[in-house]
Amino acid sequence: MSSSTSASAKVTIQNPQGLHMRPAYLFAETASKFDSQIELIKDDVRINGKSVLDILTLGAAQGTEILLEAVGEDALAAVEMLEQLVVSGFPTPEKPGEASETQA
């Protein structure tokens, strides 16, 4: 007997720049670690949560509410991890010894 699990969560974009390239990449990269089908829904637009380009087309600015949906065996884990990523504002990992990248 084969059954798919589904999970969803409403989240609000916290990142001040919204879902621009870096957060879109982080979201898609994280989503791709799961076997489940992952989609983002904003208004009446539904996109593939594993596609950076699709995520960028949402135009999700700070404060935008989106719905995360996942269907598959690891759907709950996927939604939980992706929800945490969005709620945390897509933090930038700190690299030891990395200075500000200002060019003269």
Q: Which residues are catalytic?
A: 20
Q: At what angle do helices 75-87 and 21-31 cross, to 10 degrees?
A: 160
SS3 44: coil
In angstroms, the CA 14 to CA 27 distance is 13
**Three-state SS letters, 3-40:** CCCEEEEEEECCCCCCCCHHHHHHHHHHHCCCCCEEEE
